[in-house]
Chain A
């Protein structure tokens, strides 16, 4: 993609930590122009901000609870010669957009069209955290799951088969203990691979709906794909329309929706940041 800067000489270099250690350059708030937009999503209190601080060198202190105003934090980092803008989304349990913070997170994933979304999960509460990951995977397939708080999981004697998880989810899974900087390199590498398209994501989208629902969804998906052949997530949009989501209906009417993430990036900076705080 970007052959001028630190080209890997052999395939082994790409996976070599020593090579990549030099690859990270924390940019703080300097985000003049970037190659990729990376979003950080996850439940509250799973260490998103710690990951954010690790990557950007910023000291973002965030706290989200019901009733408090929620905002996005943004920062930048350079890795392997490519510049990334990192957006820390409010911590939520779901993306059904029933509350303001969920709407902020959902809208950014949907309209901001990040090139990669890092889904940070609490390894000690995997099941509950996966609820959100599965919803993220419905909206965008370019996801890296960051299995965080491994230190606590170890303390509690919990073991997680990350390969199995990666296979089941269809996206890369990286083990981290962000508080101790553990796994940051692996995370960066996975993000880079997904961003550049070297790692293919085939997310698992298995929902067993009752037949009536399946029929309704299928019929909407058919029409949606006819109208917008580029739509990356027609099934999810169909579901939201069926559920009476006014925001999505408006987006469809205003032509905000269609288009894969790559076009958004190529269209330039302006297109990639819009949409949230609606």
Chain B
């Protein structure tokens, strides 16, 4: 190759660059659309479908409805709201039963046994009041909603609905400057954010992949669903008449989840307009044929892969956390326990953002796993409120056999509806759990972006709760 050709090529490439700016950014989509339109024309002329099979027709009709611009989103909201409503209403009774068994009956029995064996008070405190109660609490609060929610969710997935949701959301993600496949990794994030971050591997543009990783935390994960469901039924549902309570709480949970999707879009948009600028790539998403859900298999996989997996993870983290909580609650200096010192120190910050020191400390303790936030909150609330008549003493979790007792306890701890609302918001918007943070680091290989991914949602959470608290107090006329 001689020199003149090289400069010719360079001139040609320069020309292409100049023309690219004139033509604008929609070129890629234009060509893709032109190809699709042409394919449709050619196929339409060549294909005839006499005597269509009913199942085939059914698929197309269903797809036309669930992915239609008009019905797609309302139908999606309705489906998810029903799933949450069934979960909230259905989990109430088994939760109460488990709590009365594990906490009210078994715990005193174990204490008695320990006392009979002559074990020292600190040991039974550490193991039974700490580790055992934290675990028991996690099981009774989390197992019933998970055992209902996950099979329902898996059923939707198995039926083939989730790819349609991804399809509906794809348009929005693209407008936000993100890859359409981000809707798929977000769907994974609704199960577990660490899994969602790994799933961003399907996105090949590094820029769009980073956006997907950073925003994955806005998809409520397994560990946060129970918090949302519990707080929604205690605080939001209680503001409505009893008949509507379940529906209202379900709507609140869907609202928070949707808010997460909106934030995911807004953040993607912000990132792709500022630090992560670049072109959007197109992709094809295959809508798999609908399959009738297989009930037994769905039950099996959702119980083994999801419910037990999450429960196990929660227990693994809850037991040591219970020990830590018992310790900070019982190691004291200067007349009060370590926990009380920290909570008192965090309280002013907590007040500013409509939460309290207890919740903030709980979120610090729960960094390894979001699952244990509620048990920690309850335990610390009891400790600082110094309630009489509930429980047996400092640093012990109490027999709260149903949501009403939890409500009574939290109200006594100075909680209002604002605290509930802001806890739901903060549960959506805070740093990812340590597993997810580590996964982001491993996948991105960048400390900088890992820090961004960890701190961005936290900062947004602080701003959002602060804003809500100020407006709330302004409107309510106090504070």
Which interface class (under 10, 10 to 19, 20 to 34, 35 or more) fits B?
A: 35 or more
A93-B284, A213-B30, A252-B13 given as contacts; is B38 within 8 A of A157 (CB)? no
Contact with A along B252-281 (1 / 0, CB 8 A): 000000000000000000000000000101
CA distance A158 to B52 in the complex (A): 7
The answer to the question of B31 belonging to the interface, with a C-beta cut-off of 8 Å to chain A, is yes
A209-B34, A253-B9 given as contacts; is B16 within 8 A of A98 (CB)? no
With CB as the reference atom, state the residue of chain A lying closest to B49. A158
The answer to the question of B351 belonging to the interface, with a C-beta cut-off of 8 Å to chain A, is no
Out of B10, B12, B20, name the residue touching A244 (CB < 8 Å).
B20
Indicate if the CB atoms of B27 and A213 lie closer than 8 Å: yes
Indicate if the CB atoms of B48 and A219 lie closer than 8 Å: no
The interface residues of chain A lying within 8 Å CB-to-CB of B448 are none
The interface residues of chain B lying within 8 Å CB-to-CB of A11 are none
Indicate if the CB atoms of B13 and A134 lie closer than 8 Å: no
The interface residues of chain A lying within 8 Å CB-to-CB of B244 are none
The answer to the question of A220 belonging to the interface, with a C-beta cut-off of 8 Å to chain B, is yes
Q: How many Å from the CB of A107 to the closest CB on chain B?
A: 15
The interface residues of chain B lying within 8 Å CB-to-CB of A220 are 12, 15-16, 19
Contact with A along B398-432 (1 / 0, CB 8 A): 00000000000000000000000000000000000
Indicate if the CB atoms of B39 and A128 lie closer than 8 Å: yes
Indicate if the CB atoms of B39 and A242 lie closer than 8 Å: no
Indicate if the CB atoms of B202 and A67 lie closer than 8 Å: yes
The answer to the question of B477 belonging to the interface, with a C-beta cut-off of 8 Å to chain A, is no
The interface residues of chain A lying within 8 Å CB-to-CB of B13 are 241, 249, 252-253
A100-B204, A161-B48 given as contacts; is B9 within 8 A of A216 (CB)? no
The interface residues of chain A lying within 8 Å CB-to-CB of B32 are 94, 96
CA distance A216 to B16 in the complex (A): 8
Q: How many Å from the CB of B146 to the closest CB on chain A?
A: 28
CA distance A161 to B48 in the complex (A): 8
Tell me if A's interface is mostly helix, strand, loop or mixed.
Answer: helix
A67-B201, A157-B53 given as contacts; is B46 within 8 A of A165 (CB)? yes
The answer to the question of A198 belonging to the interface, with a C-beta cut-off of 8 Å to chain B, is no
Out of B10, B30, B39, name the residue touching A131 (CB < 8 Å).
B39
With CB as the reference atom, state the residue of chain A lying closest to B31. A239
The interface residues of chain A lying within 8 Å CB-to-CB of B475 are none
Residue from B15, B34, B35, B50 having most chain A Cβ neighbours under 10 A: B35
List the interface of chain A (C-beta within 8 A of B).
66-67, 93-94, 96, 98-100, 126-128, 130-131, 133-135, 155-162, 164-165, 168-169, 204, 206-210, 212-213, 216, 219-220, 223-224, 227, 238-239, 241-244, 249, 252-253, 255
A–B pairs, 26, beta carbons within 8 Å: A67-B202, A94-B282, A94-B283, A98-B205, A100-B204, A131-B39, A156-B56, A157-B50, A159-B47, A161-B48, A165-B45, A165-B46, A168-B46, A207-B31, A207-B38, A213-B23, A213-B27, A219-B19, A220-B12, A223-B12, A238-B16, A241-B12, A241-B13, A243-B27, A253-B10, A255-B1
List the interface of chain B (C-beta within 8 A of A).
1, 5-6, 8-10, 12-13, 15-17, 19-20, 22-23, 27-28, 30-32, 34-36, 38-40, 42-53, 56, 201-202, 204-205, 279, 281-284, 286
